[in-house]
Structure formats: C-alpha cells, structure tokens
Structure 1
Amino acid sequence: MLHVNGDDAEAVIYVSRLAEDYRQAFGSDIVLDIVCYRRHGHNETDEPAFTQPVMYKAIAEHETPHTLYAKRLVAAGVVTEADVKTQWDAFFAKLDEDFKAAQAYKVNKADWLEGGWAGLTAPTGKVESAYPETGVALETLQSIGKALATAPDDFDLNAKIARQLKAKAKMFETGEGFDWATGEAMGFGSLLLENHRVRLSGEDCQRGTFSQRHAVFTDQTNQSQYTPLNHIQAEQAKIEIWNSFLSEYGVLGFEYGYSLRNPKTLVLWEAQFGDFANCAQVIIDQFIASGETKWLRMSGLVLLLPHGYEGQGPEHSSARLERYLQLCAEDNMFVCNITTPANYFHALRRQLKLDYRKPLILMEPKSLLRHKLAVSELSDFGPGTRFQPVLGEVDALAPDAQIERVVLCSGKVYYDLLAERREKELNKVAIVRLEQLYPFPESALAAELKRYPNAQIIWCQEETENGGAWYFADRRIEKALVAAKHNTGRPVYVGRAAAASPATGLARIHAAEQADLVAKALGIKIEG
C-alpha cells in the first residue's frame, strides 16, 4: 500500500505510475491511498460547517492544491506569476465555453456508434423489427451437435457425463427431444461459427447450478479441462465460461462494462438462483435498466435468473420477475419467461442479430431443464424460424368458437396446466403462453385471443398476486382484448394470494397451493 499527500501533485503522479508499473510487472494487487479532503462538502451548495465546523474552518484557511503547486513552480523558476494567471484564465474560459455549448446541445444517439459499435444503429421503436429470422442451417446445427457429443480420445471423462453425451448424440440422430441445455449450446455454437465471441460467468456456471450444462469437461485423472464448443471447427470464435464467486454486485458490474466495450460479443451472467440477483440491484437499477436513457449507452447483456416454484422455499423459488417488469419503459430491455429450448435458442441469437442492443432479462427454468415435455425438435432451430413472443394452443381441442376458457400464463406453470388438462380431458380449455412480457406483444396476443371470441380469459401464475407478472400484464391484456374486439372485457386472476414472502418453506403447503391454482385456472371444481 502506498500513502501519498494529495496536496503534492508530483508525488501523486509518481506513485500512480509506480503502482501501474508494479501491477504490470508482478500482476499483483496494489493500493494507492491519496490523502486529501473535500473542500465543499457533499456538493457546492452544501454547508459542511453545520456538522464539521472545526474541520471546515481549517479547510477554508488551507490553500488549494493548484495554489500550492503554482507557488512551488514559481519559486523554482519554472513559471512566472503571469504564466500561472494566463493558464488559469484559459482554463476558466474553456469551462465557460463548454457550458454555453451545453445549453444548445441536442441528443444524437449516433454520436457514439463508432469503434466497436460501428455498424450498429439506434433502435427504431418498431416492434416488428424485434423478431428477426434467427434459424440456422441444419447441417450447421449437426456440426455443433457432433462437437457437443465428443470428447478427446485420451480424455478421462466422468461416466455420468459420458452417458449425457450419448443422449445428446441421439437427439441429433433422431432430430427430436432437444432439451434446454442443448438448445442453449446450439445457440452459443451457432454464434461462435458466425465469429461472435460468447462470454458466460456465474457461480458454478461451467456445469450449471443444476448440473444441466456441463459446458466444460474436467479430466477425472489430471483435472485438465476441455470445452467442446471451442472445437466445432478450426476457424471460429471462442467461448469463455467463468465460475465466478458470489459477489453478484461486483461480477454483474464487470459484465455490464464488458458488454459496453464488446457489443458484438454475447455476454451473459447467470445467478445461482434468480433471487440472488438482489445483491446486484444497484447495477440493475442504475445501469442495466436505465443506462440507455441516461447516458445513451446500449448494452446487450443477458441475465439468466433461475425461476420457478418447485417447493424449494422463499430464497430459491422466485427471481422477482415483478421487479424487472416495474423497471420496464421506453423499450429499454427484453423480459422473457420462456418455455421451450428452441425459443431460448432464438432469444439468445436475437441479441446479436438485431442492429441495436438491449439487455435481456430471462427467467431461466429449473425443473424444466429435464422436463420430458419441455423439449424441441431440430426443425424448430432451422431455417425460417425465429423467436415467438406468444405461443398458442398445441393440442387438438373443440372448435375455437366452442372454447369456454382461455388460460394465459408464462413460464413453468404452463406444463403443470397442460398435464392436468390432458389428464382431465378438458377439450374446451385453451392455454396460451406469453414468452415475452416486455416489450409486451399486444398484437400477437390479440391475434390469439381473437380465435376464441366466446371464452372467459384467465391469467394464471404460480407466483404470489403481488409478485410475478400479474400487476404488469393485467391492463396490457385488457388492451389486447379490446384490440381483438373480444367479448370479455378483463382477465381474471388465478394464482397464489399476496404474501410478504415469495414462497412457503413447507413442501406440503407448496404442493397444495400449486394443485389449487392449477385446478382453479382450468375451471375444475375442488371437492371439500
């Protein structure tokens, strides 16, 4: 640690250079402690003498660093008193000139689209432009699949991972059963082949919190590592996957800065559980959500926030979706709660296929990572495909005009509703998924609702009433109903009751609550 008097300008410069040289030479931390003071208190209009009268009397009598250094230079014969005054007057004239120029300044987002941002543009605000085609040639996907299912011959692979590689190989052979982790890996791999680097950080993100990703293999004999996605073909960009420590504030702040400097790299941060991101709330509020509005700085940073009610208690259930939706305005970011691997693939690719950048806040699944129904086919990733903000009914039901109830939902609860409806053979209840909550897909939702003119509209969520998307989506669904000229004026809420805690800590109560909300949403009468 180096301590230096802030009044000694040359000493400050010297130790600053010394600290930089030390860091470059030894790669070790060094702390520079510049001992100085605040002349005006919190700001120029604040009166610090209210609480620190003795100290600020001494400060008022103390000469400024500029005055002290000027006297030192004059005494040494380096400059004259006239030189000091001329330089000081020129400095103040420059400040006045820039202040006057600021009065007439007009914002132009294009002013900073240069350097690494060359080729990108300011957003147009047209919703339809946010769904570019993001499908990939099937032969390219197959080449990615081959890399994902292969380890070097001399690599001592964990037996459990070896079985997973065989399962991946079968997906690509049959073109069916693609799970979440494989959809993600194809998204990463396809971008690497298009010369876009990918960077992912987070606690245990190499294997994934739920042992779903296994993007980095570890040799069981010598602990060497192998990353399959970096071996798709000879000429490709590289992926970096870093297991970061549990300092969400520090890590997310770093990744946000990285995304500003590298707009053509897919930068992702994954929380171990979604609500752990609350330790980085300052970065989210002050930078990610509002940086473009405040400073004209776009970011394509992706936040992966595990979210879903599986009975794991208050701290491992909710990623606090409601908080992100409350921050949404001026098309500042994408907020999604996706249910299929293919839609996840397209959401990731969309981040770099748009000609502008927006943060993506993604409610990442947990139980869906291995859910037998939460799978996609290879064709869902192929040419002509794109991200779908609204997913309509998948089963053969009664004619649309005879549908009595439409259940709108988002995220994992869809599969609970689907399984129960199939078991009870309810062919007059349709289920529609909102995969993107912001910007709200009003037109796409209106088109789906228009199909069912005689149905009651239900909004079902597994979160508490004061959490989740209900308070955000309520009026927006109403606008979509008006646009569809629907007979129903407003949606009906079905979900957990409002609560101070996001979830119960008892698995038994959780299961009862979940069964109850699913039954009510589908219109099933509960006996007793």
Structure 2
Amino acid sequence: VLPVLIHGDASFAGQGVVMETMQLSKVRGYSCGGTVHIVINNQIGFTTSNPLDVRSATYCTDAAKIIQAPIFHVNGDDPEAVRFVTQTALAYRQTFNKDVVIDLVCYRRLGHNEADEPSATQPMMYKLIKAHKTPAEIYADKLIAEGVITAEEYKAYTKEYRELLELGKPVGFPVTDTLNMAYVDEWNRILEHQAKFGTDQDEKPNTAVDVARIKDLTEKMHELPEGVTLHPRVQRIHDNRYKMGSGALEMDWGFAETMAYATLLEEGYPVRISGQDSGRGTFFHRHAVYHNQNDGSSYVPLAHIADDQARFTVIDSILSEEAVLGFEYGYSTAEPNSLVIWEAQFGDFVNGAQVVIDQFIASSETKWRRLSGLVMLLPHGYEGQGPEHSSARPERFLQLCAENNMSFVVPTTPAQAFHMFRRQMLQDYRKPLVCMSPKSLLRHRQAVSTLEDLSEGQFMPVIPEIEEINNRQVEKVVISVGKIYYDLVNARAEKGIENTAIIRLEEIYPFPTKVLSEILADYPKAKEIVFCQDEPANQGYAVFVREYLEEIVDKSSVLRFATRPKAAAPAVGYNSYHIEQQNALIEDVFA
C-alpha cells in the first residue's frame, strides 16, 4: 500500500492533527513505510485574506520538518516540473520508506468555491489571477512554441475534452488494474448479511468457552521463558491469574480481558490494542507485556499461546488522542476479522479526538457504507478524582447513537467484559463498540466472576437482581448504571431494606427495551421505578434513557431519576464534596 494524503495549505499549517500524525510516522505500530503528502498550496484558507494572518512559519509545509521529511516546492503552472517532483518524491519514499512532502504552489481562480467572490477581500491578488493564463494555456503555448502541437490541435483537444465531460465519459486513461483483495470480499459478505438480516437479531453468538479450555490457556500464559524475572507486584498478579484460571480464586477484569483475547487469538482472530499505557494498563491491571527485571527485555504471553495462533499486537502510543484514534479507526476498516481496540488513558481525554468520533466512527456507515468493528475502551467512573479524571462524557456518545450505528456498553463484571470482547468478533456484523470501562472496579472485591460465568453465560444487556428476594414484595425497582450499583447494594444491606430490587443496565444502545420490560414485569407491586446514575442530571445516561423508560414503565408506577445535581463540569474538585454528593445520591435513591 502506498499512502497518499492530500492537504490544503491552511490546514497543513494550522491543524494540530497534522503534527500528531507526522509524529506517528516512525514509531512502532504505526509506521506504514512512508506517506506521500501533497499540499495543494492554493492560498485559499477561508479566514485569511491577509498573508500575515496565514501562519507564523515561512512555508505552509514547515510542520513536516519535525520529522525531517524532504519537502519539494514546485510551481503548479509547470506540469513537467510537477511530474518530475512527483516521480522524485515517489522514488524517495520507495527507497527509504519515509514520509515526503510536495508543496504544490498554485492558486484558486474562483476562490474557495464556484459561488465565492474572493475579490471582495483580496482585490489585488485576484486582479493578477484574472489576468493570468490558466496552466493549460501556459503549457499549450509552450508546446506550440516547441512545435510539439499546433494551435488548431490544442483547440480540438480542448473541445473533445469538454464534450466528454458533458457526456459524463472518462477523460483519462486507466493506469491501474482492479485488485482482488480478500478484505474487500469479507466486507462485502458482512454488508450483504447486514442488509439481509439486519443487526437486531434475536440469535446471539455463543461466546461461552469451556472451563477445560480456559485452564489450558491459563497454563500456557503462566509459562515464562527461562531467565525472565518479573517485578514483585507483577509477579503477584501473574500468580493470582493462574489461581483464577484454575478456579481457586474469583477472577478480576484483568484476567477476564486477557482470557477473552487468548480465546479469540486461538480461534484465528488477530487482536490489536493501542493507547497510552496500553501494555501495562493505566491502572496497573492489564500487564499484556512483561518487562524482565534482569535485562529490560519484554515478553508478551498472549503472543505465545499456540504455534498457529493469530497475531497479537499491543502498543503504547504517543500522547495523542486524535491521530492515534484516527489510525485505529482506519486500521479497523481494513481488518474486518481483527479485534481492534483503542484505549484512552482516562476516558476524559477522548474529547481530544471528537472530530474522529463525529465524522468517522459514528457516521461512516450511514454516509459511505463503510463498516468498522473498532472498540473504544474509555475508563470512566466517579471516584473523587476531580473534573478531569471522572467522565468519558457518555452523554456525547449517546447523542450520536441512532440508526443502529454503534453499541454503547457499561459492563460491571469481569464476565461481562469477557463476553463483550468475544461478541464483538463472533457476531455476523460489525459496529463500533464504545465501552465505559472501569477504574476502581478493576480491583473491587465484589466485582468478580467465576469460571462458570465464562463457560455458561453470555453478554447480558440487563443484569437482573441477583439476591434472593420475593418479587411480589418489591415496591421499588432501581435501574443502575456502572459502578454505583455496588454502592447501592451495600447501602441496601446496611439499611436492611428488603422491598427494593436493584438491576443493572449494561447496554445503553441499542436500548434493550424487550429485556428490560420483561424484567420490570417480574415486579407487579412496584410503585416506583428509580433510574440511578453517578453523573449529574444533564450528563451521563439519564437524558438519553428517559424517552425509553417513559414508554416501558407501567403508568401505575412513578418513574424517578436519582442523579447528581446539574453541573457545568463533570465532577466536583474536592474529595469531601464528592463524598457528600455520593451520600446524598444514595439517600435519594432509598428515600
């Protein structure tokens, strides 16, 4: 693959994603053997009628100097020079596998678009352009002067060209053959299946895995090469995972996630995960890469589970959200059968990639029929860490949810994570998956699962009440989302409340109307349905789910929302205020 990117001069100099993408060009996991950047330098940035306002650098292409890429400045009025520079740039890329930039210096005769009137703000420049011959006229004059063609032949060529355009016929010669690429065939198969059966299917994929197989994979991942010494804390995690895989210890998220990857790899599905701290995990939970304390070398257990396994790739990315997420989205569109995951360091930081989310991830299927199975892991949860480390802004993603364009989940158990990852590959269609992944629940003593949860279960969009209670005595049903479930369960036990059921909404979109309706129907005496979230009333899930719940909840019951007060910031800045709000929220639920 030869990547060719077309830029505008104003955006190349002004958009930060250009610099972020440049920084990806030579790092592990993102290098593509060099990209040819063509900058259409037509001085047409909409806001810049004065050249002094365009940029601080001398050239629009100076951003490329950060990676020492060669930059060729060429006159767009000279086709032969453009051809020579293009050939030279391609030869450089093919020889050295590095980025190269062509600065095509030109102009736009009719301004920003054909309806624009550029002379209103740039009168002197457009007087010159109006009097200036077109590149075609300049080149024709050269060829006529050299005796290559005659003036009559030029007129005939021009007439023929315009006639072909009017008829909608090709005006150029094909220079490449159509390639038969396996991934195109695979995407076509998935597209055809989605068109025929849709994606809202009652038949769910079987994501369960036999206990014997889990134990076998645990054994393989527990084996370390001779001479590898782990950090004491990592060694403890390594040993505990062996106990979890043998059934001697209840499993945490780190084990369930790792085991999901292991099973998929064994089944032939490549797994790629990238982000800041993805190898270790921001919260010291994943440890997909072991670092030998003796010599600093690395060992990746998931890359050594079978001789014929699929490829496992884990990358600690540069500190960029937009460029890295954009790269992973692009990778996922080319790899229909790979589990491609981008993980934010904290979910809060995903707002730096909002353009990629809005323009591509949420809407590419609707706009272009371009599918993606990308997974976004966004650590989210209100734990007193302040407004910059609490929220992945779920409300923003839910605002984008429509036309069955993505899945949005908030898993609260390791088993849910296990089945979530496996479902993403085993289902017959591809949709982006946005996951509000946990932070404190990674080690919460109650947020654990058993081997049977992996071998017998599946992903549950709604988890019903798990305690033994008399359904006909239930007067209040609490629908919770995320980690607050555990706070509610503990508070219920402390207060000795027996007439309240607590269920968990684990998949917010597509909204599980049927499943939730069936569960609520199990409580015929419930007088009050309370939707509870950690987030403020104007954030989180409440605004999105209200419409669904108002249709589902029986008119004889009162529907109420228990949230933090409306707020401009996601969370308060002082831990004491956080605790005060948390206590008030719990009391409100059980009032």
Quote the residue 1:60 is aligned against.
130
User: Which of 549, 554, 564 is equivalent to 1:496?
Assistant: 564
- Contact 1:453–1:487 at 8 Å: present in 2 too? no
| Amino acid corresponding to residue 198 of structure 1 in structure 2 | V
Quote the residue 1:453 is aligned against.
524
CA distance, structure 2, for counterparts of residue 396 and residue 131 of structure 1: 28
CA distance, structure 1, for counterparts of residue 143 and residue 451 of structure 2: 74
Quote the residue 1:409 is aligned against.
480
CA distance, structure 2, for counterparts of residue 205 and residue 475 of structure 1: 37
Q: Does 1:487 align with 2:556?
A: yes
- Contact 2:240–2:249 at 8 Å: present in 1 too? no
- Contact 1:23–1:29 at 8 Å: present in 2 too? yes
Shift of the alpha carbon at 1:71? 3.2
CA distance, structure 1, for counterparts of residue 390 and residue 203 of structure 2: 30
Quote the residue 1:439 is aligned against.
510
CA distance, structure 1, for counterparts of residue 189 and residue 89 of structure 2: 38
CA distance, structure 2, for counterparts of residue 3 and residue 74 of structure 1: 27
Sort the Cα spacing of 1:10 and 1:506 in 2 relative to 1 into closer, same or farther, 3 A: same
User: Which of 307, 321, 324 is equivalent to 1:251?
Assistant: 324
Q: Does 1:45 align with 2:115?
A: yes
Shift of the alpha carbon at 1:98? 4.2
Quote the residue 2:18 is aligned against.
none
Which has the higher mean CA deviation after the structures are superposed, 25-34 or 458-467? 25-34
User: Which of 141, 163, 167 is equivalent to 2:240?
Assistant: 167
Q: Does 1:281 align with 2:350?
A: no
**Counterpart of 1:510 in 2: which secondary structure?**
helix
CA distance, structure 2, for counterparts of residue 90 and residue 299 of structure 1: 43
Query: Which has the higher relative contact order, 1 or 2, with Cα contacts under 8 A spaced 6 or more apart?
Result: 1
Quote the residue 1:425 is aligned against.
496
- Contact 1:465–1:495 at 8 Å: present in 2 too? yes
**Counterpart of 1:491 in 2: which secondary structure?**
strand
Shift of the alpha carbon at 1:425? 2.4
Quote the residue 2:285 is aligned against.
212
Shift of the alpha carbon at 1:345? 1.5
Quote the residue 1:4 is aligned against.
74
Sort the Cα spacing of 1:148 and 1:522 in 2 relative to 1 into closer, same or farther, 3 A: farther
- Contact 2:199–2:429 at 8 Å: present in 1 too? no
User: Which of 421, 432, 454 is equivalent to 1:348?
Assistant: 421
- Contact 1:450–1:486 at 8 Å: present in 2 too? no
Shift of the alpha carbon at 1:389? 0.5
Q: Does 1:242 align with 2:310?
A: no
Q: Does 1:474 align with 2:542?
A: no
- Contact 1:248–1:277 at 8 Å: present in 2 too? yes
Sort the Cα spacing of 1:64 and 1:173 in 2 relative to 1 into closer, same or farther, 3 A: same
| Amino acid corresponding to residue 350 of structure 1 in structure 2 | R
Shift of the alpha carbon at 1:64? 2.1
Q: Does 1:30 align with 2:100?
A: yes
Quote the residue 2:88 is aligned against.
18
Shift of the alpha carbon at 1:49? 1.1
Shift of the alpha carbon at 1:132? 2.1
Quote the residue 1:337 is aligned against.
410
Counting aligned pairs with the same residue, the percent is: 46
Sort the Cα spacing of 1:79 and 1:258 in 2 relative to 1 into closer, same or farther, 3 A: farther
Sort the Cα spacing of 1:308 and 1:78 in 2 relative to 1 into closer, same or farther, 3 A: same
Sort the Cα spacing of 1:259 and 1:402 in 2 relative to 1 into closer, same or farther, 3 A: same
Sort the Cα spacing of 1:67 and 1:386 in 2 relative to 1 into closer, same or farther, 3 A: farther
CA deviation string 1:217-268 (max 9, x = no partner) = 1112222111110111111111111111121111111111111111111111
Q: Does 1:375 align with 2:480?
A: no
Quote the residue 1:104 is aligned against.
none
Shift of the alpha carbon at 1:10? 2.1
5 Å-filtered alignment, 1:147-162, equals 147-162=220-235
Which has the higher mean CA deviation after the structures are superposed, 163-172 or 175-184? 175-184
State TM-score, norm by structure 1: 0.91
State TM-score, norm by structure 2: 0.82
Shift of the alpha carbon at 1:66? 2.6
Which has the higher mean CA deviation after the structures are superposed, 195-204 or 151-160? 151-160
| Amino acid corresponding to residue 6 of structure 1 in structure 2 | G
Quote the residue 2:341 is aligned against.
268
CA distance, structure 2, for counterparts of residue 236 and residue 17 of structure 1: 41
Q: Does 1:507 align with 2:575?
A: yes
| Amino acid corresponding to residue 120 of structure 1 in structure 2 | I
CA distance, structure 2, for counterparts of residue 337 and residue 34 of structure 1: 48
Shift of the alpha carbon at 1:146? 2.0
Unaligned 5+ segments in structure 2 are: 1-70, 171-181
Which has the higher mean CA deviation after the structures are superposed, 187-196 or 332-341? 187-196
- Contact 2:279–2:314 at 8 Å: present in 1 too? yes
CA deviation string 1:89-129 (max 9, x = no partner) = 454444444499xxxxxxxxxxx993342431353445234
Which has the higher mean CA deviation after the structures are superposed, 10-19 or 216-225? 10-19
Sort the Cα spacing of 1:135 and 1:167 in 2 relative to 1 into closer, same or farther, 3 A: same
- Contact 1:144–1:229 at 8 Å: present in 2 too? no
CA deviation string 1:29-83 (max 9, x = no partner) = 4332221112222211111111111111211222222332333334444444455
Quote the residue 2:461 is aligned against.
389
Sort the Cα spacing of 1:5 and 1:343 in 2 relative to 1 into closer, same or farther, 3 A: same
CA distance, structure 1, for counterparts of residue 293 and residue 392 of structure 2: 34
**Counterpart of 1:339 in 2: which secondary structure?**
coil
Sort the Cα spacing of 1:4 and 1:450 in 2 relative to 1 into closer, same or farther, 3 A: same
CA distance, structure 1, for counterparts of residue 333 and residue 204 of structure 2: 23
Unaligned 5+ segments in structure 1 are: 101-111, 524-528
CA distance, structure 1, for counterparts of residue 524 and residue 486 of structure 2: 24
**Counterpart of 2:189 in 1: which secondary structure?**
coil
Shift of the alpha carbon at 1:19? 2.1
Quote the residue 1:140 is aligned against.
213
Sort the Cα spacing of 1:129 and 1:451 in 2 relative to 1 into closer, same or farther, 3 A: closer
CA deviation string 1:110-166 (max 9, x = no partner) = xx9933424313534452347322222333322322233232122122221111111
- Contact 1:291–1:297 at 8 Å: present in 2 too? yes
Sort the Cα spacing of 1:9 and 1:137 in 2 relative to 1 into closer, same or farther, 3 A: farther
- Contact 1:175–1:377 at 8 Å: present in 2 too? no
CA distance, structure 1, for counterparts of residue 321 and residue 167 of structure 2: 42
| Amino acid corresponding to residue 155 of structure 1 in structure 2 | V
**Counterpart of 1:460 in 2: which secondary structure?**
strand
CA distance, structure 1, for counterparts of residue 296 and residue 569 of structure 2: 42
Sort the Cα spacing of 1:516 and 1:15 in 2 relative to 1 into closer, same or farther, 3 A: same
Which has the higher mean CA deviation after the structures are superposed, 437-446 or 343-352? 343-352
CA distance, structure 1, for counterparts of residue 500 and residue 515 of structure 2: 19
CA distance, structure 2, for counterparts of residue 196 and residue 84 of structure 1: 57
Sort the Cα spacing of 1:357 and 1:69 in 2 relative to 1 into closer, same or farther, 3 A: farther
Shift of the alpha carbon at 1:500? 0.3
Q: Does 1:70 align with 2:140?
A: yes
Sort the Cα spacing of 1:41 and 1:154 in 2 relative to 1 into closer, same or farther, 3 A: same
CA distance, structure 1, for counterparts of residue 416 and residue 320 of structure 2: 30
Sort the Cα spacing of 1:260 and 1:466 in 2 relative to 1 into closer, same or farther, 3 A: same
Shift of the alpha carbon at 1:505? 0.6
Shift of the alpha carbon at 1:353? 1.6
5 Å-filtered alignment, 1:73-88, equals 73-81=143-151, 83-88=153-158
Shift of the alpha carbon at 1:87? 4.5
**Counterpart of 2:278 in 1: which secondary structure?**
coil
